[in-house]
Amino acid sequence: MFSLLRRRLSIYGAIMALIPKQFMQYSAWFWAEMIGQVLAMVIVGSFWRAVYASSTTVGGLTADSTIRYILLAQLVAPLVRWGMILEMGGLVSQGGVAIELTRPIDMQARMFAQGLAASLTNLIFKSGPLALFGWLFLGLTFPTDPLTWGAFLISWLLGFAALFCFDWIIACVVFYTTEAWGLHILREGVAAFLSGALIPLAMMPSLLQKVAAVVPFGQALYVPVGLLSGLIPLSGAPKAWLIQIAWIVVLLPLSRFVFSRAVRAVTVQGG
Amino acid sequence: MSAISVQNLTKVYRIADKEPGLKGSLKALVRPQFKEKVAVDNLSFQIEPGEIVGYIGVNGAGKSTTIKMLTGILEPSGGKVSVMGRDPHRQRVANAREIGVVFGQRTQLWWDLALIESLNLIAKIYEIEPALYKQRLHEFTETLELGELLRQPIRSMSLGQKMRAELAATLIHDPKVVYLDEPTIGLDVVVKERIRAFIKERNRIAGTTVILTTHDLGDIEELCQRVIMIDAGQKIYDGPLAAIKERFGKYRTITLETAHAAPAGLALPEGVFIEGQEESKLVLRFDRTLTTASQVAAAVMAQAEVIDFNLAEPDLESIVKQIYSGALSTATPEVGSVV
pLDDT band, residue A270 (cuts 50/70/90): very low
For residue range B95-142, list pLDDT tens digits in order. Answer: 999 999 998 778 889 888 899 999 999 999 999 999 999 999 999 999
Chains A, B: CB contacts under 8 A, how many?
75
What's the confidence (pLDDT) of residue A271? 45
Give residue ranges of B with CB < 8 Å to any A CB. 13, 64, 68, 71-75, 92-94, 96-97, 99, 101, 103, 105-108, 110, 112-113, 117, 120-121, 124-127, 153
Between residues A48 and A26, the one the model is more confident about: A48
Burial B124-138 (b: 16+ CB within 10 A, else e): bbbebeeeebeebbe
Asked if pLDDT for residue B331 goes beyond 60, the answer is no
Give residue ranges of A with CB < 8 Å to any B CB. 7, 10-11, 14-15, 18, 21-22, 25-26, 94-99, 101-106, 264, 266-268, 270-271
SS3 category, A221: coil
Verify whether the Cβ–Cβ distance A102 to B93 is below 8 Å.
no
Q: Give the full edge-to-edge strand order of the sheet including B251-258.
A: B272-277, B281-287, B251-258, B306-312
Among the partner-chain residues A22, A95, A266, the one whose CB lies closest to the CB of B110 is: A22
User: Does residue B10 contact residue B79 with C-beta atoms inside 8 Å?
Assistant: yes
pLDDT band, residue B328 (cuts 50/70/90): low
Verify whether the Cβ–Cβ distance B106 to A98 is below 8 Å.
yes
What's the confidence (pLDDT) of residue B4? 96
Q: What value of ipTM does the predicted structure carry?
A: 0.83
Q: What is the rounded distance in angstroms from the CA atom of residue A46 to the CA atom of residue A50?
A: 6
Please list every residue in chain A whose beta carbon sits closer than 8 Å to the beta carbon of residue B97.
Answer: 104
pLDDT band, residue A169 (cuts 50/70/90): very high
Closest alpha carbon within chain A to B71: A102
**Range from A196-200, B112-116, B151-155, B225-229 carrying the lowest mean pLDDT:** A196-200
User: Hey, of B112, B128, B129, which one would you mutate to test binding to chain A, going by the most A CBs within 10 A of its CB?
Assistant: B112
Burial B168-202 (b: 16+ CB within 10 A, else e): bbbbbbbbbbbbbbbbbeebeeebbebbbebbebb
Instruction: Identify the H or E element spanning A11.
Output: helix A2-23
pLDDT band, residue B334 (cuts 50/70/90): very low
How many angstroms away from the CA of A111 is the closest CA of chain B? Answer: 14
Please list every residue in chain B whose beta carbon sits closer than 8 Å to the beta carbon of residue A268.
Answer: 68, 73-74
Radius of gyration, alpha carbons of chain B: 25
What's the confidence (pLDDT) of residue B327? 60
- Conformation bin of residue A206: beta by default, left when phi > 0, alpha when psi is -120 to 50: alpha
| C-alpha dist (Å) from residue B318 to A207, B58, B140, B253, B271 | 73, 14, 35, 12, 18
What's the confidence (pLDDT) of residue A211? 87
What's the confidence (pLDDT) of residue B315? 65
Among the partner-chain residues A10, A102, A266, the one whose CB lies closest to the CB of B99 is: A102
Share of chain B above pLDDT 70, in %: 94
For residue range A30-79, list pLDDT tens digits in order. Answer: 889 899 999 999 999 999 999 898 888 888 888 888 999 999 999 998 88
What's the confidence (pLDDT) of residue B208? 96
Please list every residue in chain A whose beta carbon sits closer than 8 Å to the beta carbon of residue B71.
Answer: 98, 101-102
Please list every residue in chain A whose beta carbon sits closer than 8 Å to the beta carbon of residue B103.
Answer: 95, 98-99
Asked if pLDDT for residue B332 goes beyond 60, the answer is no
Q: C-alpha B284: how far from its chain's center?
A: 30
Verify whether the Cβ–Cβ distance B124 to A21 is below 8 Å.
no
Tell me, what DSSP letter sits at residue A61?
Answer: E
User: Hey, of A18, A27, A102, A261, which one would you mutate to test binding to chain B, going by the most B CBs within 10 A of its CB?
Assistant: A102
Verify whether the Cβ–Cβ distance B124 to A10 is below 8 Å.
yes
> Which of A174, A171, A215 is closest to A195 using CA atoms?
A215
Closest alpha carbon within chain A to B113: A22
Among the partner-chain residues A21, A105, A266, the one whose CB lies closest to the CB of B125 is: A105
pTM, two decimal places: 0.83
For residue range A71-103, list pLDDT tens digits in order. Answer: 999 999 888 877 899 999 998 888 888 899 999
pLDDT band, residue B43 (cuts 50/70/90): very high
Verify whether the Cβ–Cβ distance B112 to A7 is below 8 Å.
no
Residue-averaged pLDDT of chain B? 87
For residue range B73-99, list pLDDT tens digits in order. Answer: 999 999 999 999 999 999 999 999 999
User: Does residue B333 contact residue B238 with C-beta atoms inside 8 Å?
Assistant: no
What's the confidence (pLDDT) of residue B94? 93
For residue range A194-237, list pLDDT tens digits in order. Answer: 998 888 888 888 898 888 888 899 999 999 999 999 999 999 99
For residue range B267-312, list pLDDT tens digits in order. Answer: 889 889 888 888 888 999 888 888 988 899 999 998 888 899 988 8
What's the confidence (pLDDT) of residue A268? 57
Please return the burial class of A242, using the count of CB atoms within 10 Å of its CB with bins 0-12, 13-18 and 19+: exposed
Among the partner-chain residues A21, A95, A271, the one whose CB lies closest to the CB of B113 is: A21
Closest alpha carbon within chain B to A103: B96
pLDDT band, residue B162 (cuts 50/70/90): very high
What's the confidence (pLDDT) of residue A264? 83
What's the confidence (pLDDT) of residue B330? 44
